[in-house]
Amino acid sequence: SQQGEEDPQALSIQEGENATMNCSYKTSINNLQWYRQNSGRGLVHLILIRSNEREKHSGRLRVTLDTSKKSSSLLITASRAADTASYFCATDTGNQFYFGTGTSLTVIP
């Protein structure tokens, strides 16, 4: 399987703290994306980073990509209770998308 893995599986932080989650993948990629899922609902796209990019920002989100290590990290700054959700990375090889196993983030008010 070419499925990626997120680390940690679960993360619990206080509101206002930063949350960092990591993703490792197995093959060469075109892009890497991060998605958010609330309570078994459909995934929502957060941010995309291309294979020739090393870092990207969007609001309170910061994504890094290290293609030599086949890894990415997602940083959520100044977390809020509403950020409580599961976060998935997804790699794109052109035709197929491979999702990681997800990080469950709980932000405590």
Partner 1 sequence: EAQVTQNPRYLITVTGKKLTVTCSQNMNHEYMSWYRQDPGLGLRQIYYSMNVEVTDKGDVPEGYKVSRKEKRNFPLILESPSPNQTSLYFCASTAAGNEKLFFGSGTQLSVL
Q: Is 44 in the site for partner 1 (CB under 8 A)?
A: yes
Q: Are 103 and 7 in contact (CB under 8 A)?
A: yes
Q: Which helix (H) or strand (E) covers residue 13, if one does? A: strand 10-14
Q: Based on CB atoms, which residue is closest to partner 1, 40 or 59? A: 40
Write out the binding residues for partner 1, residues 72-91 only, by CB under 8 A: 88, 90
Nearest to 79 by CA among 4, 11, 2, 10: 11
48 scored as a contact of partner 1 (CB under 8 A): yes
Give the one residue of 16, 58, 97, 108 binding partner 1; rule: CB under 8 A: 97
